[in-house]
Amino acid sequence: MEFSVYEMDFAGGTVPAGMAHEVNGNTWRMHGTDAVPIRCTALTGAVGEKVGCTIYPLRPAPCHELVEGSEACHKARAKLGLPSLG
């Protein structure tokens, strides 16, 4: 998932610069999210068991969509072959 450069800490946002890379001049992406299997550098734990985000309060906008029980969560779980949470 891509997000605006303005979410980067050096541009006034909160995402730590060492955890993301530039896609183009205005777009950035978290390390680990542009390869298969996708595994964001900020993710801890085991998918399907218990996971967490090491930068949760600083995470970029697309991550806000992946809260438990959201449509984005349901889609992500289905993609990984995991059951819906409700």
Q: Quick check: is 65 in a domain?
A: yes
Number of folded domains that form the chain: 1
Containing structural domain, residue 31: 2-79
Q: Quick check: is 26 in a domain?
A: yes
Q: Quick check: is 24 in a domain?
A: yes
Q: What is the largest CA-CA distance in the chain?
A: 39
3-state DSSP assignment of residue 81: coil
Tens digit of each residue's pLDDT (9 = 90 or more) over 7-47: 999 999 999 999 999 999 899 999 999 988 889 999 999 98
Tens digit of each residue's pLDDT (9 = 90 or more) over 53-73: 999 999 999 998 888 888 888
Using CA atoms, how far apart are residues 53 and 24, in angstroms rounded to an integer?
25
Token pair belonging to 64? 């806000």
Q: Quick check: is 8 in a domain?
A: yes
Q: Phi and psi of 31, rounded to 5°?
A: -55, 140
Tens digit of each residue's pLDDT (9 = 90 or more) over 36-53: 888 999 999 998 888 899
pLDDT for 53 equals 94
Q: Quick check: is 85 in a domain?
A: no
Q: Quick check: is 57 in a domain?
A: yes
Q: Quick check: is 86 in a domain?
A: no
